[in-house]
A and B are shown apart, each in its own frame.
Chain A
Amino acid sequence: MSVNQKIVSSLIKNRIEFVTTVPCKQLAGVIAEIEASTDIYHIPSNKEDEGMGLCAGAYMGGKRSAIIMQNTAIGVTINTLVTLIQYYNIPLPMLISYRGEIGEPVACQVEMAVHTKGLLDQLKIPTYHFHQQSDAEELNPILNHSFVAKKPVAILTDASFWQGV
């Protein structure tokens, strides 16, 4: 099973039926896998804060939801994370491509990477860093943790994790 298939299988196992995505090169494979899945309603969003609104609505409608986005989106979504997701106790797994880490070819991506963990820490968002493909084994309990805690959780997936995908 490819890492993309493993991720989608973990989403389905955790009864996540509604996923919004904003693309990133590293996430292309998993986004395609989600689009192909008949168990998940895939709704691409134009901006990540919009996507979090969609996820909040779907959750209140009875469907577990998740967002897939790039770490640059942390800069876009701080207000939404704080005043919607955290303020209303809404669970939201965030699968995040961690651009700007070792192996990054685009220098500008490093500028946001150096702030990513600091911002997540400041927001008190439980954060998990996937560095190797075997780390995907932990996705199941992490997703479950988000719904138990009714909190957003961040899963940072770096270039090393996606290598060879």
Chain B
Amino acid sequence: MIRSDVLKTLIPMISEELVVSNIGLPSQELHLLDDQPTNFYMLGTMGLSSSIGLGLALAQKKKVIAIDGDGSVLTNLGTLPTIANNPANNFILLIIDNGSYGSTGDQPTYAGLKTSLAKVAEACGCENVIECTAEQTAAAVRTALDGDLMTIIVSKCESGNIEVPVIDMDAPVIRHRFMTEVSRRKT
């Protein structure tokens, strides 16, 4: 299974949830598969999906799923100690780990070589870290959504991409419709 296959298995359970998705293909694939006002698509800024997701989770009570990539987490490795030391039990960080920089031509990342992001997350102090196969990912996300514990899921999948169009929605429109949805859920 490649990333878009994993995303497909997640749609039924994340469609109504607040989702922050990583720059490039992850956002474009999610947008193609299931565009929702509850999706915040990053159009730029490599590495910050987990940070935006944590800030969002700390600021309100609804569940937040940040979909990130292994390359992106490696770019912003400092995010893991911050997540560990500021636990938000409504926060799920899903790292789709295909061992490559998918959006830029599938160059290998260190996470696909000797580095284990699950072990790094644990060493940073994250207490509920699950490494699973692509096939097990939907069940792991379901469990995290049903539970009340901050969860880091590292989903090991194959490298590969599907053809997807770019997102042509304006950034302030993405933000505004997302914030409207966040605010609606608070009331």
Q: Bound state CA distance, A59 and B55, in angstroms?
A: 8
A53-B48 CB under 8 A given contacts A60-B40, A83-B43, A89-B172: yes
A46 within 8 Å of B (CB atoms) = yes
Among residues 76 to 100 in chain A, which have CB atoms less than 8 Å away from a CB atom of chain B?
Answer: 79-80, 82-84, 87-90
B13 within 8 Å of A (CB atoms) = no
B104 within 8 Å of A (CB atoms) = no
Of A7-15, A61-69, A129-137, the one with at least 4 CB within 8 A of chain B: A61-69
Q: Bound state CA distance, A79 and B46, in angstroms?
A: 9
A50-B78 CB under 8 A given contacts A60-B182, A80-B48: yes
Contact with B along A45-65 (1 / 0, CB 8 A): 111011111111111111101
In the assembled complex, the CB of A49 is this many whole angstroms from the nearest CB of chain B, namely 7
Of B26-34, B57-65, B145-153, the one with at least 4 CB within 8 A of chain A: B57-65
Q: Is the CB of A62 within 8 A of B172?
A: no
Q: Is the CB of B45 within 8 A of A61?
A: no
Chain A, Cβ-Cβ closest to B76: A50
In the assembled complex, the CB of B1 is this many whole angstroms from the nearest CB of chain A, namely 28
Among residues 150 to 187 in chain B, which have CB atoms less than 8 Å away from a CB atom of chain A?
Answer: 171-172, 174-175, 178-179, 182-183, 186
Q: Is the CB of A18 within 8 A of B44?
A: no
Q: Bound state CA distance, A52 and B47, in angstroms?
A: 12
Cβ–Cβ < 8 Å partners of A53 in chain B: 45, 47-52, 55, 76, 79
Among residues 75 to 91 in chain B, which have CB atoms less than 8 Å away from a CB atom of chain A?
Answer: 76, 78-79, 81-82, 86
How many A residues are at the interface, by size bracket?
A: 20 to 34
Q: Is the CB of B54 within 8 A of A46?
A: no
Among residues 12 to 60 in chain A, which have CB atoms less than 8 Å away from a CB atom of chain B?
Answer: 18, 41, 43-47, 49-60
**Total chain B interface residues with beta-carbon distance under 8 A:** 35
In the assembled complex, the CB of A159 is this many whole angstroms from the nearest CB of chain B, namely 28
Name which of B42, B52, B53, B54 has the most chain A CB atoms within 10 A of its CB: B52
In the assembled complex, the CB of B157 is this many whole angstroms from the nearest CB of chain A, namely 24
Q: Pick the contact of B171 from A18, A49, A88 — CB < 8 Å?
A: A88
Q: Is the CB of B47 within 8 A of A49?
A: yes
Q: Bound state CA distance, A80 and B44, in angstroms?
A: 8
Name which of A41, A79, A88 has the most chain B CB atoms within 10 A of its CB: A88
B118 within 8 Å of A (CB atoms) = no
Q: Pick the contact of B45 from A55, A80, A89 — CB < 8 Å?
A: A80
- Of the A-B pairs whose beta carbons lie under 8 Å apart in the complex, a sample of 14, sorted by A's number, is A41-B58, A46-B79, A46-B81, A52-B51, A54-B51, A54-B55, A57-B54, A57-B56, A60-B175, A62-B179, A62-B182, A79-B44, A84-B42, A88-B171
Residues of B that sit less than 8 Å from A by CB? 20, 40, 42-45, 47-60, 76, 78-79, 81-82, 86, 171-172, 174-175, 178-179, 182-183, 186
Give me 13 other A-B pairs in contact (C-beta within 8 A), A53-B45, A84-B45 excluded. Answer: A43-B82, A45-B51, A46-B81, A50-B47, A50-B82, A60-B175, A61-B57, A62-B179, A62-B183, A79-B44, A87-B171, A88-B171, A90-B175
